[in-house]
Chains A and B, each alone.
Chain A
Amino acid sequence: MKLTKTAGVVAAAATLLLLAGCGTTQNQAGTGSSDDKLTIGVSFDLVNDIRSAELASIKDAAKKQGDTVEFVSADQDAQKQASQIQDLVQTKKVDALIVIAANNDQIASSIALANSAKVPFIAIDRAVSGGDVTFQVTGDPVADGKLAAKEALAVAGDNPTIIQLVGALTDQNAIGRRDGFTDGVKAAGKTVAAEVPTDWDPSKALDGTSNALQANPKVNTIFIPSDYLLPSVQSALQAAGKLKPVGDPGHITIVTIDGDPNGCKAIKDKTIDSDIVTPVDSFGEQAVAAAHTAHGGKSVSPAEAQVAGFALNQANASTTLSKTWGCNTK
């Protein structure tokens, strides 16, 4: 009797396996329900704290839905990313993709691949174009830049001498933040004294800032488009003897974007004036939600969401610190 039961179970299991194997290649989008537990392929690099936070927010949101996350990192290499996404779609057969494109132009082939496999392609953090993107949620770099300008001018007063660092020119966010800041400054009738290209490299930021400080000794405002570069700027200031805390007459106004742990600490330590915080948690929530909607067969609307950052500064620190993701990481 036991034998028959075992045989039955084996037969049932075998049948299930067979069905699973020769069934359709994967769950077609729209053939499931938004309540299914999904396997979500996530592709981006882990080069800084914000990425780690973004991954964490995706994982949290996914956990709440019971989803599994398959994470791969392409180390900022667009080719590698394309291959890895191909693996996720064709071999791992994920139900949805959440991607930060290493390169906006080269991501198009991956979007096309996802489209033909009917896997929802969701972009976060960096805007992408070219292809049917199910949903994208990004920050609003231009708005953040403008807000940063507003914050800077609010503190710097009437005669600001501004040094503006610029991120990698292949990064949409860097360009957006730069443009937003420059526009904001221009709108107030002021100009930027010096631009420092950094390629998002800490060494270049350090050397470039020292050079700019030298060429513009009267500088009183510095805009750093990412907290990632903050330590470099602070080192440069220190070497020039110009690193003074808020409130000190020699203090140079510093405004950054991101809201990462360094930025959070810097606000607490009163070494910087303002940090435009990117609402990273929101990225994860919205992305996972969109994955479920698309899987359930509905189209996601609106297909694009831009979430502007909010200002964390010395004035509102007491209430805003808790909302800043950088202050909430371990």
Chain B
Amino acid sequence: MTQTRRPANAVSRFVIEYPLIPIGVALIVLFSLLQPHFFSVTNLVNILTQSSVLLIAATGMTYVVLTAGIDLSVGAMMFLAAALVAALLTAGVPPVLAVILAPLLTIILGAFNGTLVAKAGVPAMLVTLATLQVFRGIGGHLTEQQSIVLPAEVRFLGTGDVLGIPRAVIVAAIVVAVGSYVLRRTRFGRHVQALGSNPNGAWNAGLPVSGLLIAVYSVAGLCAGIAATVQIGRLGAVQPTLDLGFELTVVTAVVLGGTSLNGGQGTVFGTAIGAIILTVVENGLVLSGASPYLFDIVRGAVLLAAIVGAGIPKQLAAFLTRRGGARAPVTS
């Protein structure tokens, strides 16, 4: 009979839950050696800024993946949100209002995704592949396939800083913090994780499964909308290929962060680390001056190493706990 294998040591517990952290540290060391500039305050702040959009979108996606679902329409939702802002501005809507309306729209888009997944019994991957096309199409229609430069007044979430911290980073930090808290400390969050952990059990326990599903996709939509407003803040323009394929990057960040595609397992914090590591890699590659032809290869190799490396600490931990005979501590 298997006994509990939980290491008593808090440090090793932390490392096992977030195996990416040592990997991230290793990457940072590596890139710093290749290019001393890498380890400067400016660059590190840059990395945080550059990862902000991904951080926000990936937080929402974490909820979806926790239910063993997936939302491939994220990039298209972000594009549509950006296109909507542009359209609203042209129609004379005040910039601040336009920026607020974008996430409201994407919540509805997300709810739409969620309703199809919950009620139509179609796998999430297929549903969101289809809505991806629809959203992109609508966005393309709104922008008439033109690149549209946006005025400075809508860019406030992506430009400027508060007390030296870029606004984009602040928004990302808030989203990550709230996302993590809601998941861990609210009834809703616990129900979401329960649903992914044991779907049958959830039904039998009378959990509001449909409602939960619609909610998580709406959360993903909301985060996509917020991410979009930060993104247009940074970019200052909406181009027809905006966020094309971005959904894959988002899912990569989520999976890299330890959230299982089978549902039930994962944390927002882990996703955040995954997102930052992806950005560290991009940043490091450019700074190291490597030939662009090598970028794809190197990026893939680093990801592979990170994934394998993330597995090693788990095995190491299993090995260590076997020795120590650690069990669930008996209280009496």
Which A residues form the contact surface with B (CB < 8 A)? 46-49, 51-52, 166, 169, 194-197, 200-204, 206-208, 210-212, 214-215, 228, 231-232, 234-235, 238-239, 260-262, 265
The CA-CA distance from A91 to B318 in the complex, in Å, is: 63
Provide 26 A-B residue pairs closer than 8 Å at the C-beta atoms, listed in order of the A residue: A48-B145, A48-B146, A48-B240, A52-B144, A194-B289, A196-B286, A197-B286, A197-B295, A200-B241, A204-B282, A206-B234, A207-B283, A210-B46, A210-B49, A211-B286, A212-B286, A214-B46, A214-B287, A215-B35, A231-B235, A231-B239, A232-B235, A232-B237, A235-B237, A238-B236, A262-B149
Q: Which 7 A-B pairs have the closest CB atoms?
A: A231-B237, A197-B292, A46-B145, A211-B286, A235-B236, A207-B50, A47-B240
The CA-CA distance from A228 to B144 in the complex, in Å, is: 15
Q: Are B240 and A46 in contact (CB under 8 A)?
A: yes
Q: Judge if B191 is at the interface, Cβ distance under 8 Å.
A: no
Closest to A236 in B: B234
Q: Which residues of B contact A195 (CB under 8 A)?
A: 291-292
Q: Which residues of B contact A260 (CB under 8 A)?
A: 147
Q: Are B243 and A203 in contact (CB under 8 A)?
A: yes
The CA-CA distance from A202 to B140 in the complex, in Å, is: 16
Q: Which residues of B contact A51 (CB under 8 A)?
A: 145
Q: Are B145 and A214 in contact (CB under 8 A)?
A: no
Closest to A329 in B: B146
Q: Which residues of B contact A52 (CB under 8 A)?
A: 144-146
- Which B residues between 243 and 279 are near A, CB-CB below 8 angstroms? 243-244, 246, 279
Q: Which residues of A contact B147 (CB under 8 A)?
A: 48-49, 228, 231, 260-262
Render B162-179 as a binary contact track against A, CB cut-off 8 A, 1 for contact.
000010000000000000
Closest to B152 in A: A238
Q: Which residues of B contact A194 (CB under 8 A)?
A: 289
Q: Chain B, interface size: which category?
A: 35 or more
Closest to B144 in A: A52
The CA-CA distance from A235 to B240 in the complex, in Å, is: 18
Q: Judge if B37 is at the interface, Cβ distance under 8 Å.
A: yes
Q: Which residues of A contact B292 (CB under 8 A)?
A: 166, 169, 195, 197
Smallest distance from the beta carbon of A267 to chain B beta carbons, Å? 14
Closest to A47 in B: B240
The CA-CA distance from A206 to B158 in the complex, in Å, is: 12
The CA-CA distance from A206 to B50 in the complex, in Å, is: 9
The CA-CA distance from A207 to B282 in the complex, in Å, is: 9
Closest to A46 in B: B145
Q: Are A215 and B287 in contact (CB under 8 A)?
A: yes
- Which B residues between 28 and 52 are near A, CB-CB below 8 angstroms? 35, 37, 40, 42-43, 46, 49-50
Across the interface, B42 reaches (CB within 8 A) one of A214, A232, A234, namely A214
Of A51, A204, A235, A262, most B-chain CB atoms within 10 Å: A235
Q: Which residues of B contact A210 (CB under 8 A)?
A: 46, 49-50
Q: Are B293 and A169 in contact (CB under 8 A)?
A: yes
The CA-CA distance from A154 to B149 in the complex, in Å, is: 29
Q: Are B235 and A202 in contact (CB under 8 A)?
A: yes
Q: Is the interface of A mostly helix, strand, loop or mixed?
A: helix
Q: Which residues of A contact B144 (CB under 8 A)?
A: 52
Q: Judge if B159 is at the interface, Cβ distance under 8 Å.
A: yes
Q: Are A231 and B234 in contact (CB under 8 A)?
A: no
Q: Are A201 and B235 in contact (CB under 8 A)?
A: no
The CA-CA distance from A47 to B50 in the complex, in Å, is: 24
Closest to B43 in A: A214
The CA-CA distance from A208 to B241 in the complex, in Å, is: 17
Closest to B233 in A: A235
Smallest distance from the beta carbon of B223 to chain A beta carbons, Å? 17
Smallest distance from the beta carbon of A196 to chain B beta carbons, Å? 7
The CA-CA distance from A210 to B287 in the complex, in Å, is: 10
Q: Are B146 and A201 in contact (CB under 8 A)?
A: no
The CA-CA distance from A105 to B122 in the complex, in Å, is: 37
Contacts A169-B293, A211-B283, A215-B37 given; does A203 touch B231 at CB 8 Å: yes
Q: Are B237 and A202 in contact (CB under 8 A)?
A: yes
Across the interface, B159 reaches (CB within 8 A) one of A47, A211, A238, A265, namely A238
Q: Are A239 and B159 in contact (CB under 8 A)?
A: yes
Q: Which residues of A contact B241 (CB under 8 A)?
A: 47-48, 200-202
Contacts A46-B240, A48-B147, A195-B292 given; does A214 touch B235 at CB 8 Å: no
Sample of 11 more A-B contacts, CB < 8 Å, known A214-B40, A214-B46:
A48-B241, A202-B235, A203-B235, A203-B243, A207-B286, A210-B46, A211-B286, A214-B37, A231-B147, A231-B236, A232-B236
Q: Judge if B124 is at the interface, Cβ distance under 8 Å.
A: no
Smallest distance from the beta carbon of B136 to chain A beta carbons, Å? 8
The CA-CA distance from A206 to B54 in the complex, in Å, is: 14
Closest to A260 in B: B147
Q: Are B239 and A48 in contact (CB under 8 A)?
A: yes
Q: Which residues of A contact B286 (CB under 8 A)?
A: 196-197, 207-208, 211-212, 215
Q: Which residues of A contact B40 (CB under 8 A)?
A: 214
Of A51, A215, A261, most B-chain CB atoms within 10 Å: A215
Q: Which residues of B contact A49 (CB under 8 A)?
A: 146-147
Smallest distance from the beta carbon of B162 to chain A beta carbons, Å? 15
Contacts A169-B292, A210-B46, A228-B239 given; does A235 touch B146 at CB 8 Å: no
Smallest distance from the beta carbon of A123 to chain B beta carbons, Å? 21
Q: Judge if B242 is at the interface, Cβ distance under 8 Å.
A: yes
Closest to A266 in B: B149
Q: Which residues of A contact B146 (CB under 8 A)?
A: 48-49, 52, 261
The CA-CA distance from A208 to B47 in the complex, in Å, is: 11
Closest to A195 in B: B292
Of A47, A196, A212, most B-chain CB atoms within 10 Å: A47
Q: Which residues of A contact B35 (CB under 8 A)?
A: 215
Smallest distance from the beta carbon of B257 to chain A beta carbons, Å? 20
Q: Are B235 and A211 in contact (CB under 8 A)?
A: no
Closest to B53 in A: A203
The CA-CA distance from A260 to B140 in the complex, in Å, is: 18
Contacts A196-B286, A211-B283 given; does A202 touch B239 at CB 8 Å: yes
